[in-house]
Structure 1
Amino acid sequence: MHYSLSPTLLNKPIKIALIGAGGSGSQIATELFQMDSLLRQLSNQAVYIDLTLFDGDEVSIFNVGRQCFYMGDVGQNKADVLINRFNSFGGTEWKSQPKYFEPSPQLINDYHLIITAVDKAEFRVKLGQHFAEHEQRSEMLWLDVGNGKHDGQVVCGHATPNVHSPVRLPNVYDLYGSMLEQVDDNKEDQPSCSTEMALQKQDFGVNRGVAAQATQLIWQLLRYTKIEHHGAIVDVLGASVQPMKIDPQVWAVYGYEVKQ
């Protein structure tokens, strides 16, 4: 099976909300900037990325080298730093929101794609429940990225239960909701007080590997209008990428049943 991008999203600017500007988020934002340039050239400025970046954190010295920040960025808000960089040197008109994201009723009308690059399971549960309560039909996609020490995963699915598309892609909450609800963020998200400690939790290159798979899905959709898989499990230590097929039998393994 494959999923084709909704005709309503073809040949037009794509509004994206990127939540999180840390290891994966800053890498995704950088690749989206490169993608935006290519899309503009290919479409004679008709197709481009309209990005809004959300993050309430400031750059710390331990982010330098692991994330897309420099020593001169330390102490500044992550979203502001990246957006100012792209707008100043790349000619974009992207927007920064130097705050933590809170879902709102108009969310599905404001964006075509939402990307979550956060390290809190509780946030994914909250957002998944928010989307699950919407009865309005929508083609909005939710692309989630998550990381471990040497590995990570990407899941792209429809945000809301009701869609116009003949194929509804399950999102990360649909597939992993019960598992996410059992995660204790207080144990998982201990602050790093050194670069060595940060690398013990997440090794070099994991963010880049996961971001590459996430942005490749976006590129396939915007450039070729369809995807053959809607996620991947990435293992940088084992040098492997396992695609998540668009297949109800695969989804059933995670407890997700396709509604007839």
Structure 2
Amino acid sequence: MNGSIRHIAPPEMLSRAWKVVVVGAGGTGSALLPSLARLHHAMLALGHPGGIECEVYDDDTVSEFNVGRQGFYPNDVGQYKASLLVNRLNLLMGTSWRAVSRRVDSSTALRADIVIGCVDSRAARHAIVQSARRGGCRYYLDCGNERDRGQVILGELGKGRPDRLPHVGDLFPDMLNAKNDSGDNTPSCSMADALRKQSLVINLAIAVQAFNLLWSLFRDGGLKFSAVFVNLAAGRTNPLPIDPAAWARFGYEAPPAAETGRNPARGRKAA
């Protein structure tokens, strides 16, 4: 194991299938899901015993204005996004994934190793975090974006461990506060209107960074950084190292180290 890695993947995730829930099958979700299928096959090829078992939640249907900007085609219009993407991947990639064509709210209990949120509203993000906690999920991978910038943050939802990766709500509490949503939830009336609100490239850029984090978690058995900030306008990508001092710059203070004196920046020891 590379000595510079600070977060070690849980041993059980290297000995059985990863249970992954993706919430949101729009711009970022439709870009990320094919990559998750590729990761599934890569894991199996490299000797992982189960690859990925995935469940996708989204209650939306494909509109004509999603075609070209999201991962959909003209013949997809009117179909549910989640079932469409999952059925397509199951057919083409030989997976046995499941689609749930409904919205995740705070009463839902998501049970997974990793919940991936591909949503932009704070209300939706808050509901996902609450649902993941209710179901006892370990990781929450937040994939959020604005017009030409965004963030990918992998965090853990447990409490009390000094080496726990902070999730998006730890680093940016306002991102879980629905009162801060812009209120502009009206659908675009044309693809041109949608592109004025959001870069054509940003969802793909966010999906690639999320894919890379998950690949590193498997292939390297751990991570050197747990978040990436993307700014297309500036042509800049900034990783967030796994370091309590770096987290503190965002106002997050890691819990005190245990009495053993173990350095929280070094992460858990591999079993």
Would the TM-score normalized by the shorter structure come out above 0.5?
Answer: yes
Q: Using the TM superposition, name which of 61-70 and 96-105 deviates more.
A: 96-105
Q: Give the superposition deviation at 1:188.
A: 3.7
Aligned to 1:205: 201
In structure 1, the residue matched to 2:54 is 51
1:24 matched to which residue of 2?
A: 28
Q: Which deviates more, 34-43 or 203-212? A: 34-43
The CA deviation at 1:37 is: 1.4
Does residue 38 of the first structure (1) align with residue 39 of the second (2)? no
Q: Call closer, same or farther: CA 1:199–1:232 in 2, change over 3 Å.
A: same
Once the two structures are TM-superposed, the CA of residue 101 in structure 1 deviates from its matched residue by 1.4
Does the 8 Å CA contact 1:209/1:234 hold for their aligned counterparts? Answer: yes
Deviations 1:178-213 (Å, cap 9, x if unpaired)?
354265435243321111110111111101111100
Q: Shift of residue 128 of structure 1?
A: 3.6
Report which stretch shifted further, 152-161 or 69-78: 152-161
2:172 is paired with a residue whose SS is helix
Q: Residue 225 of structure 2 is aligned with which of 225, 229, 239?
A: 229
Partner of 1:114: 115
Distance 1:182 1:19, change over 3 A: closer
Q: Distance in 2 between matches of 1:105 and 1:145?
A: 20
- The 1:195–1:170 alpha-carbon spacing in structure 2 relative to 1, beyond 3 Å, is same
For normalisation by structure 1, the TM-score amounts to: 0.90
CA distance in 1, matches of 2:109, 2:179: 28
* CA deviation after TM superposition for structure 1 residue 239, in Å: 2.0
Task: Output one character per residue of 1:160-180: Cα deviation in whole Å (capped at 9) or x when no partner.
Answer: 3245xx610000111111354
Q: 2:142 aligns with which of 141, 144, 151?
A: 144
Equivalent position of 1:99 in the other structure: 102
Which residue of the partner structure matches residue 245 of structure 2?
Answer: 249
Aligned match of 1:157 = 155
The answer (yes or no) to whether the contact 1:124–1:173 under 8 Å persists in 2 is no
1:67-89 deviation line (CA, Å, top 9, x unaligned): 11101100000001001101112
With normalisation by structure 2, the TM-score equals 0.86
Inter-partner Cα distance in structure 2 for 1:13 and 1:23: 26
SS of equivalent to 1:187: coil
**Kept after mapping to 2: 8 A contact 1:59/1:76:** yes
Q: Is the 8 A contact 1:119 1:189 kept in 2?
A: no
- Counterpart code for 2:216: Q
- Measured in 2, the distance between the counterparts of 1:101 and 1:217 equals 24
Relative distance call for 1:85 and 1:192 in structure 2 (3 A) is same
Which is worse superposed, 198-207 or 235-244?
A: 235-244
Contact 2:155 2:165 in 1 (8 A): yes
User: Stretches of 4+ moved more than 6 A in 1?
Assistant: none
In 2, distance between residues paired with 1:131 and 1:85? 26
- C-alpha distance 75-141 of structure 1, shift in aligned 2 (>3 A): same
Q: Does 1:192 align with 2:188?
A: yes
Whether the 8 Å contact between 2:174 and 2:180 is mirrored in structure 1 is: no
CA distance in 2, matches of 1:183, 1:202: 22
Letter of the structure 1 residue corresponding to residue 44 of structure 2: R
Gaps of 5+ in 2: 257-271
